[in-house]
Structure formats: structure tokens, C-alpha cells
């Protein structure tokens, strides 16, 4: 005889979908935090770039200070448009906020360290990889200059790009270049993001 006993209905949480995952069951932990994993990879990449920029900045400064003795030579002509020229930058940029005293020196260290800390937390919360990379350039360059100011009381600048007597930039270093490139990348992305917004509908 056929068994006419009605089947006991399964609990909704125990029913299964075609993928073999119980309907009503919680999503796997990995998928729930996939977004956090992406942010974590961005942080790792950005902090790695910042560390590389910092190390390269300090290496180049060591080379011009110790093996090349640029402080004693003052100038080394390398190419028609590029020289190594010793400059002790005691200000922030373009001569502003020049610190000639110990108080001014450590005040600048504190100010730039506060900015670098803000950039670090910005990286930590940044979800866009391009922006995280740009911020990493700024952070690595800033840290290199902070270490200089704490050690020597000034930032070591040495790269002199010039066309005749015209210099498109002040004498700079690797950290300065990284900061400039990072800021420009952030500005370009901000402009592109604004331009991608849909055009206004004509009335």
C-alpha cells in the first residue's frame, strides 16, 4: 500500500536553493566581508608604496650626503638640464614658514606629522585604489621630509632641473616629487569624477 501519510514540511531555513546553500541561512563570512577585504588590499598596497617612497627618498639623500659629499661640493653638473645642488630647506615650501630656531623647527615637525597622520587615516578609510595610491605618494614623501627635519633641522634638497636660467621647480628631492605627483593625481581624479556626473537635462 501506498503511504498516504503527509510528509512533514521542512523548516524554511532548511530548504535549499539550486546552489546547495540553505535559503534563509546566513551568507558565508567571507562574502559578508568581501568589501573589507578589498579595502584591506588597498591599504596594504598603499602602505607598501609609502614605505618604498620613504626608503628611496632616504637612500638618495644618503648617497648625495655621504658617497658624493654634495654638501662639501655644493654643485655637481650631471646633464645640460639637470644638476645636483645642495640646498638646506628650512621652510615648508617656496620659503614659507621658514624655521630658523629650534622652536620653529619642532613646530614644523609637529605640523607636518599631524598632516601625515591625517593622510594615513585617509588611506585607512579610502575605498578607491587610485586615491589610495596617490595618498601613499604623499605619505611616503612627507615622512621622508619629517625625518630630515627631525635629524638635521632642515630638509635635504638636491635635484636641480633647469633650462638655462629658468627653473620650473625649486630645488627638490624624491619626497617632494612624490608629494607633488600624489596631489596632482588626487586633483585629476577629483576633476574626472566631477566630469563623469550626468549632464543636466535640458528644460
For residue 136, the surrounding DSSP H or E stretch is helix 129-152
Helix (H) or strand (E) segment spanning residue 67: none
Provide Rg for the chain, Cα atoms. 28
Q: Are 38 and 132 contacting, i.e. CB atoms less than 8 angstroms apart?
A: no
Which helix H or strand E contains 73, and what residues bound it? helix 70-73
Crossing angle (nearest 10°) for helices 102-125 and 34-65:
150
- As a whole number of angstroms, the distance between CA 108 and CA 131 comes to 26
Residue 160 backbone phi and psi in degrees, to 5: -120, 100
β-pair partners for 155: 89
Measured over the CA atoms of residue 166, residue 169, residue 174 and residue 177, the dihedral's sign is negative
Distances, alpha carbon 22 to alpha carbons 14, 29, 38, 128, in Å: 6, 15, 26, 34
Catalytic residues, by residue number, are 157, 176
Start-to-end Cα distance in the chain: 76
Amino acid at each position: 500500500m501506498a503511504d498516504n501519510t503527509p510528509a512533514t514540511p521542512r523548516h524554511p531555513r532548511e530548504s535549499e536553493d539550486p546552489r546547495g546553500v540553505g535559503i534563509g541561512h546566513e551568507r558565508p563570512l567571507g562574502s559578508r566581508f568581501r568589501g573589507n577585504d578589498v579595502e584591506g588590499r588597498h591599504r596594504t598596497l598603499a602602505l607598501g608604496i609609502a614605505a618604498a617612497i620613504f626608503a628611496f627618498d632616504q637612500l638618495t639623500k644618503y648617497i648625495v650626503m655621504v658617497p658624493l659629499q654634495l654638501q662639501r661640493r655644493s654643485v655637481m653638473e650631471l646633464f645640460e638640464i639637470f644638476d645636483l645642488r645642495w640646498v638646506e630647506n628650512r621652510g615648508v615650501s617656496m620659503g614659507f614658514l621658514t624655521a630658523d630656531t629650534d622652536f620653529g623647527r619642532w613646530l614644523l615637525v609637529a605640523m607636518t606629522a599631524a598632516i601625515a597622520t591625517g593622510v594615513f587615516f585617509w588611506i585607512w578609510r579610502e575605498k578607491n585604489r587610485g586615491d589610495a595610491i596617490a595618498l601613499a605618494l604623499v605619505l611616503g614623501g612627507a615622512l621622508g621630509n619629517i625625518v630630515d627635519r627631525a635629524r638635521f633641522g632642515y630638509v635635504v634638497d638636491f635635484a636641480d632641473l633647469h633650462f638655462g636660467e629658468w627653473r620650473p621647480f625649486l630645488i627638490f628631492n624624491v619626497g617632494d616629487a612624490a608629494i607633488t605627483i600624489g596631489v596632482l593625481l588626487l586633483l585629476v581624479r577629483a576633476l574626472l569624477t566631477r566630469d563623469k556626473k550626468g549632464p543636466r537635462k535640458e528644460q
